[in-house]
Amino acid sequence: MPENRYDKAPRPGQGHFVAAPEDVTVGVVDAVSVDEAPTSMWREAWRDMSHRPLFWISAFMILVVVVISIVPGAFTSLLPRSGCELGSSLLPPSSEHIFGTDRNGCDIYARTLFGARASVLVGVLTTSFVVVLGTTIGAIAGYYGGWTDTILSRITDVFFAVPFVLAAIVILSIVPTRTSLAVALVLASFGWTTIARITRGAVLSVKNNEFVTASKALGMSRAAILWRHVLPNSAAPIIVYSTVALGTFIVAEATLTFLGIGLDPSTVSWGGDLSTGRSSIRTNPDIMFYPAAALAFTVLGFIMMGDVVRDALDPKARKR
């Protein structure tokens, strides 16, 4: 029989050594502080975002747009409709008119600043309506399942099949007064389907976790479990989509207003200025440049913020 190599005496230097208990200090390394608060997903996300230059750049861009939207008068002493005289039509940039004047003699700089309020307001209102409606429908469909999921999913498919811009054009063409609230409601009526699907998928992936089972064992109602536990743990993709969608809805409002179907012509907005300046695009393209640049600056800030939030809340996205 072959010789058993384990029966041999250990070679020099290969002997086993067991340290005394008082010499073992591994427990100090592995010790967990019970006084420190546990790290949550949101704290980890903030820690990740705060170390990204792109986050601070996009946050600064959004902050600039928000401040201008709230207090545009702090950046200019002119009003968007003051001094609009045909004798001052198409003046070049000067100390009095930084960006020059448009065909109606209005100051382009003042109109660009004051136009941010209407465009951003429509974007914020639309996003708020979409998040509330889409999240509610998607959460109920995903959590309760069965015939509830079937009915709500088919309703979502019907609205999803309707072209978004075409539906907004048809509805707004028959609205007597196209205010910011009216435009936001119309856009939200056909823009909630995507977030409903995202919420439904997130809820489906969360509702079978252990903490949901534990909540059921404690006697909590299904509605309480949904709104207190399931939905908060499904909020990450909803927040990511909402950040990007806000910029998308600002573009949608500008597009509709440019076509003459969005906000009333009396409302100062970037889309309205783009529509007014297109008649002079060959001779004075700078009239359209400034509102278009402001619109692009705003949308870019929200899209960049959405990318940063997505990477922070979904680490798998960075590996794709």
At residue 99's C-alpha, the angle toward residues 94 and 103, to 5°, is 100
Question: pTM higher than 0.85, yes or no?
Answer: no
pLDDT at 196 exceeding the cut of 90:
yes
Q: Give the CATH number of the domain where residue 174 resides.
A: 1.10.3720.10
Number of structural domains in the chain: 1
Q: Looking at the domain assignment, is residue 7 inside a domain?
A: no
**pLDDT tens, position by position, 241-286:** 898 899 899 999 999 999 888 888 888 889 888 888 887 777 788 8
The phi, psi pair for 101, rounded to 5°, reads -125, 160
User: Per the domain annotation, does 52 fall within a domain?
Assistant: no
Residues in the chain: 320
Distance of alpha carbon 129 from alpha carbon 187, whole angstroms: 9
- Which pLDDT score is estimated for 226? 87
- In eight-state DSSP terms, residue 100 is -
Spatial separation of the C-alpha atoms in residues 105 and 9, rounded to whole Å: 102
Q: Which residues are 101's β-sheet partners?
A: 107
| Residue 263: inside a domain | yes
pLDDT in tens, 279-313: 777 778 888 889 999 999 999 999 999 888 888 88
Distance CA 40, CA 38 (A): 6
Residue 13 — pLDDT band, cuts 50, 70, 90? low
Distances (CA, A) of 225 to 133, 139, 147, 219, 231: 19, 11, 20, 10, 8
For residue 3, which amino acid is it? Answer: E
Looking at the domain assignment, is residue 33 inside a domain? no
Contact 160, 193 (CB under 8 A): yes
Task: Report the distance separating Cα 257 and Cα 296, nearest Å.
Answer: 16
Q: Is residue 42 part of a domain?
A: no
The token duo for 78 is 């002119």
Give the whole-angstrom CA distance, residue 300 versus residue 291: 14
State the DSSP code for 92: P
How much is the average pLDDT of 8-13?
59
Give the pLDDT band (50/70/90) at residue 128.
very high
Residue 43 forms part of a structural domain? no
Structure tokens at 282: 């060959």
Q: Is residue 214 part of a domain?
A: yes
> What's the helix, strand, coil split of the chain in %, to 5?
70, 0, 30
Domain presence at residue 290: yes
Task: Give the 3-state secondary structure of residue 101.
Answer: strand
* Alpha carbon distance 120, 297 (integer Å): 12
- Give the mean pLDDT of 61-75: 92
Judged on CB neighbours under 10 Å (0-12, 13-18, 19+), 184 is buried
pLDDT tens profile 157-174: 999 988 888 888 999 888
**Residue 210 domain boundaries:** 63-319
